[in-house]
Chain A
Amino acid sequence: MQKKILVVDDSFVMRTLIKDIISADPDLLVVGEAINGIETIEKVRQLQPDLLLLDIEMPGMDGIECLKRLKLLSPCKVVIVSSVAQAGSQQAMEARKLGAFDVISKPSGALSLDLKSKKGSDIVRISRRALGLPE
């Protein structure tokens, strides 16, 4: 059974790249995308994903608020994908406190990645770990 993933980022390019990377792993399935916090909450209700790949910097409802609201809705795992929230930053800590599994940075040089490096990327590795899948 593939794990359901919801990708949240306000940038289409980012979402596309993240989806592309995730698709390299047959255990993972992107079931939906959201472009802001409100949509995220709606989609989590609808799709009940196993994992959320969540951007922190979003217009409107930011990632932290989104995370807090989500906590009241769903037990779904969350991995923060953001270049702002680097490990050790205040936002990262806050996110971790709110139950985010980990904080990773956005994909770089995604276009040049081959299948192998996609599989080895942070996004895939941390997602698998968050979902309790063998690495």
Chain B
Amino acid sequence: MNDFIEELWSQFAIETQEHIEEIELHLVNAEQNGISAELVASLFRAFHSLKGLATAMDMHSFARLAHRAEDILGVIRDGDFPMNSDVVSLLLAALDEMKMLQLSAVTSHTNVDANSQLLEHLAETFTSMECSAVPRVTPVYAETLTAAPPLQSDPEMLTYFVELAREKIAVISRLLDPFCTLPERADLMQSPECIAQATEEIEQLSYAAKTMDFLNLVVILAHLREALSGNQQKAITECLWELHDQIRYIEHSSGIPDVGANSLHTILTDVMHTNVQRLFTRVLDHLDALQFGGRDGDDLLIAQALQADLSGLNSHLAFFMYSPTCNIILMLEDVFSRAARGELHLFGEILEMTRDEVTHVMEHYRDCSDGGVCARDKAEIASNLQRIHDYIWAYESGCGVVNPIETFRQFMGELNIEPELLKILSPENVRDLMQALEKGEHIFEVTAHLESNEEMTAHFLAWIETGRSRIITNRSLFINDMSWYEMLIVSPLSRIEISQGIQTIDPGGAYLTLKPWSGGIPEREQLLKAIEDTPERQLRIVETVASSGNVLRVQGETLDGFMNLIGEMVLARSRLSHIINHERLSKQVVRLKQQRTGNDPDSDELLELLVEHRNDLMEVDQLLNAALRRLQESAVGLRVVPVEMVFKRLPRIVRDLSMSQGKRVRLEMSGQEVKIDKAMVEILTDPLLHMIRNSIDHGVEMPDVRAMAGKSKEAVIRVSATQRGSGIIIEISDDGMGIDTDKVLGKAIERGLVQRDIAVSLSREAIMRFIFEPGFSTAAVVTETSGRGVGMDVVMTNVKRLGGSISVDSTAGRGSTFTLEMPLSAAIQDVLMVEAAGTILALPGRYVAEVVEIAADELQSVRGEQAILLRGAFLPLHRLSTLLGYPSAAAERCDGIAVVLTNGSQTIGLAVDKVLRRQELFIKEIQESVTAIPGVGGASVLGNGRVVLILDGEDLLRIAKSGAGRL
């Protein structure tokens, strides 16, 4: 017999055994507790499976028994007969017989005849049960298939579809969420993997929808797939909205309320709100870049990006129904699309106006989304629209920028239109003409004498109006002492119709003449082509930068929690390490080795095993330590953000300040990519803003002053960030008037900061430092923001507190440079949290060498000091609570846990009640009175709001040296 059949038989044995056991359990249980319909069904299924298995293996008697039992259970299952103890007994008897047959089948693979009496009994029972059963009309199913009703009407099918749809919609909306959400940067693309995955999900849903005959859904999904393959963000969003509508419809029609329309709706609205916010920010950023960026060559590109964002803003706002507001955005979009084509030079006023309007709309939007009313005055909106409109045209007609209007004029000239008439065409006229031509209307030149025949004049004007014609422009001229009008008319009418009309009004032709064209009727396509061909249309293509991988957003708290967990692990590791390297253990090992006589092989082996395991453990401990350190380092790496986060606020400040003071300043920034700890963002922002303000207020001169000094009217402020070692250096330099040391000195003397006689001997640097003195200001004018003498001293204080430094260098008349040096993660301190005298305290991590457990019998007294022997050296022990001057009842207890504190030259053990965890704390600003407490360096607030004191390592060591808190 081959292996295959052998394997089958053994599987047969297992499966049949399982079924038999299941049946037995249920039957016995049924006799005692009754039986549920569900159990009857599973009994039925079990006998059925047995039958199938037996048939397959040619065990016909076995199969026949199973079949009879199955029949009986079928009747019970259908509810025609109750399960009673007689039936249970009979079925159990059948089962016993089957057990026997199974055994012989498995052992000898042969079919043994079943007990014929039992078979007969089963058959009889079945017949009698069937007879006593309520006769039912058994439906007869025709073999021919009638046309199947649509699957939509099958409630089960609908449920399954809904389940599938729910799953797919959830995945699709999750996948497409980033597609709908504008990236922070306009040039970021979505990953192809994401597109592929979404496409697959869409196809699967589409297949199901097709099966269900939800044809609209199929169409929408096809659109969505298309939009996705083209990465067309707008189309994707639109399709998702349509999808939402369809799902809503399906929810209505199926009566199943939660297929996903709501979540889709929430996602889409959220996305749109986010987008609107981002678009506003981006638009303002672009404006900043245009106004202060100073990179001239990029202006067209920025305008282009600005236009795209305005367009996006427009379509988003339209969704939230801010229609009058939208018009303004639409208008601005037009402005920047012209600018992007180089047709419109962007100058300050337009940018200012744009900023004002966008800010307005932004506030308006905010009010509306806060549930407020759209309260903006329509008249105000209209007048703003008009303002923008006027600006564009005033500018266009006033400047000599080559644009399609010129091209158009030339084109018209070729049509034999009176050149004088062309000259007076305003840009608006040209636009109207172009629009008319685009609509397929025609241009005519009519000369009319309208003064001597009132009736004809009225007739003519009425005819113009009824013919939906318009007079674009006209000029008056004298021919034979008569006043004539030369008119340029656009009309949907053809030349023949116009000609006939004129003849009807003025049959004699004495008053009206239609000027013949030399070049025929201007063709729309020709015109459009002429415009198309102008070089200004050829736009530069925006560079795209591929997405730098997937960005995962993590909440700050999550990260902090993560760091704390790592801290706990580090601590656990250090305890492990301590246990492994325990003094007593190593001493014992050494002692045992020395005492080894060689007579006791058992203890020798034990010793070797001990040493071996200890070495192994040490090795593992090292590995663990290295891995933990890497983990900690990479976790710290997660906290960094580019310094851009701080810098991005600067353009706005520079712009506002310089504007309000009538100064012209260009801001140049570099090193935005330098990474800083996220907590530094807040810390750096204020000092930086102060210094920028300072530069503009005191450094930068008025434009005319600059011009007189031979400088360009526009001042430059440069802000740069560089990383040096574990610190970051930020330089703020301006090319303004610089710091006048004489003036500073004069002021310092005046304020009594320095004696007049000492002052003369002060170095330049020393003099410069005065500007960081509280209340010091040399500015003649006290501005809104600076010059009151608060500022630089605050900057200095903040920077110093965080372990940074600030310096200034200046050349009178040439400008000043402030250099800010900050440690990379100034405000973050790695600490070990301990508990002493019921208080939670933080020990600075870099002083903590390790944590040791002290057994009472390890304590020794060395020169009157309590100490333990740690790796061959005495470690003096101090109780932390006593060291800090806390009254401690537990002072007498000597055993427990001690933290080994070291600064390299001095090492002490600090006995504490509990060691909690290692974590990173953000040092909060605290009052000086707190730091005045001996041993305390700062404070922080824990996640639960509890204030914890951060101890000063050096201070603690110093106090310990003086002998306090000794055990």
Which residues of A are at the interface with B, using a C-beta cutoff of 8 A? 10-14, 16-17, 20, 57, 59, 65, 68-69, 71-75, 83-84, 87-90, 92-93, 96-97, 106-112
**B5 / chain A contacts, CB cutoff of 8 Å:** 111
- B58, A83: Cβ atoms closer than 8 Å: no
A57 touches B45 (CB 8 A): yes
Given contacts A13-B53, A57-B45, contact A65 B141 (CB under 8 A): no
Docked complex Cα distance between A84 and B4 (Å): 28
B204 and A73 within 8 A (CB)? yes
Could you give 24 example pairs across A and B, Cβ below 8 Å?
A11-B49, A12-B14, A13-B11, A14-B53, A17-B8, A20-B4, A65-B160, A68-B160, A69-B160, A71-B157, A72-B211, A73-B164, A75-B207, A83-B48, A87-B143, A89-B141, A106-B52, A107-B56, A108-B56, A108-B58, A109-B55, A111-B5, A111-B56, A112-B58
Check B141–A93 contact: CB distance below 8 A. yes
Q: Is B145 an interface residue (CB 8 A)?
A: yes
Contact code string B1-27 (vs A, CB < 8 Å = 1, else 0):
000110110011011000000000000
Partner pick for B208 among A12, A73, A88, A107, CB 8 A cutoff: A73
Q: How far is the CA of A20 from the CA of B11 in the complex (A)?
A: 15
The answer to whether A14 and B145 have CB atoms under 8 Å apart is no
State in angstroms the CA–CA spacing of A74 and B211 once bound together: 9
Q: In the assembled complex, which residues on chain B have CB atoms less than 8 Å from the CB atom of A97?
A: 145, 148
A75 to B57, CA, bound (A): 33
Closest to A89 in B: B141
Q: How far is the CB of B209 from chain A (nearest CB, A)?
A: 9
Contact B56 A13 (CB under 8 A): yes
- Would you call B139 an interface residue if the criterion is a C-beta within 8 Å of the partner chain's C-beta atoms? yes
Task: Output the nearest chain A residue to B141 by Cβ-Cβ distance.
Answer: A93
Q: How far is the CA of A73 from the CA of B154 in the complex (A)?
A: 17
Interfacial chain B residues near A13, Cβ < 8 Å: 8, 11-12, 15, 53, 56-57
As a 0/1 sequence over residues 57 to 75 of chain B, the CB contacts with chain A under 8 angstroms (1 = contact) are: 1100000000000000000
- Residues in A neighbouring B15, C-beta threshold 8 A: 11-13
CB proximity of A22 to chain B, nearest CB, Å: 14
Residues of A within 8 A of B12 (CB): 13
Mark contacts of B365-380 with chain A using CB atoms, 8 A cut-off: 1 yes-contact digit, 0 otherwise: 0000000000000000
B455 is an interface residue with CB less than 8 A from chain A: no
Residues of chain B with a CB closer than 8 A to A87's CB: 143
Cβ–Cβ contact B145 & A83, under 8 A: no
CB distance from A108 to the nearest CB of B (A): 4
A90 touches B58 (CB 8 A): no
Is A109 in contact with B49, judged by CB distance below 8 angstroms? no
Complex Cα gap A110–B139 (Å): 34
Shortest CB–CB separation between residue A29 and chain B, in angstroms? 18
Say whether A72 contacts B58, CB under 8 Å: no
The A-B contact count (CB < 8 A) is: 89
Of residues 101 through 139 on chain B, the ones whose CB sits less than 8 Å from some CB of chain A are 139
Given contacts A59-B42, A84-B48, A88-B143, A12 and B212 within 8 Å (CB-CB): no
Q: Which size bracket describes the interface of B in this complex?
A: 35 or more
The chain A residue with its CB closest to the CB of B48 is A57
Return the contact of B55 from the options A74, A88, A106 (Cβ within 8 A): A106
Minimum CB–CB distance from B16 to chain A (whole Å) comes to: 9
Given known contacts A12-B15, A71-B211, A109-B58, A90 and B139 CB-to-CB distance under 8 angstroms: yes
Whole-angstrom distance between the Cβ of A30 and the nearest chain B Cβ: 15
Contact partner of B49 among A10, A72, A111, CB < 8 A? A10
B151 touches A71 (CB 8 A): yes
Residues in B with CB closer than 8 Å to A75 are 207
**B444 in the interface, Cβ–Cβ < 8 Å?**
no
Shortest A109–chain B CB gap in Å is 5
Question: Least Cβ distance of B717 to chain A in Å?
Answer: 60
Question: What is the CB-to-nearest-CB distance from B590 to chain A, in angstroms, rounded to a whole number?
Answer: 61
- Give the CA-CA distance A107 to B161 in the complex, in Å: 33
Q: For A57, A74, A107, which residue has the most chain B Cβ atoms within 10 angstroms? A: A57
Instruction: Establish whether residues A69 and B164, one from each chain, have CB atoms under 8 Å apart when the complex forms.
Output: yes
Chain B residue at minimal CB-CB distance from A17: B56
* Residue of B5, B12, B52, B161 with highest tally of chain A CB at under 10 A: B52
* Distance between Cα atoms of A72 and B14 in the complex (Å): 36
Chain B 193-225 residues near chain A, CB threshold 8 A = 204, 207-208, 211-212
Which of A16, A89, A92 has the most C-beta atoms of chain B within 10 angstroms of its own C-beta?
A: A16
Taking CB atoms, residues of chain A closer than 8 Å to B211 are 71-72
B156 at the interface (CB under 8 A from A): yes
The chain B residue with its CB closest to the CB of A18 is: B56
Chain A residues, CB < 8 A from B212: 72
Other than A13-B53, A89-B141, give 4 A-B pairs with Cβ distance below 8 A: A10-B49, A17-B8, A68-B160, A110-B58
B892 to chain A, nearest CB (A): 66
Contact of A111 among B8, B51, B161, B208 (CB under 8 A): B8
Q: Is the CB of A108 within 8 A of B49?
A: no
A112 to B48, CA, bound (A): 22
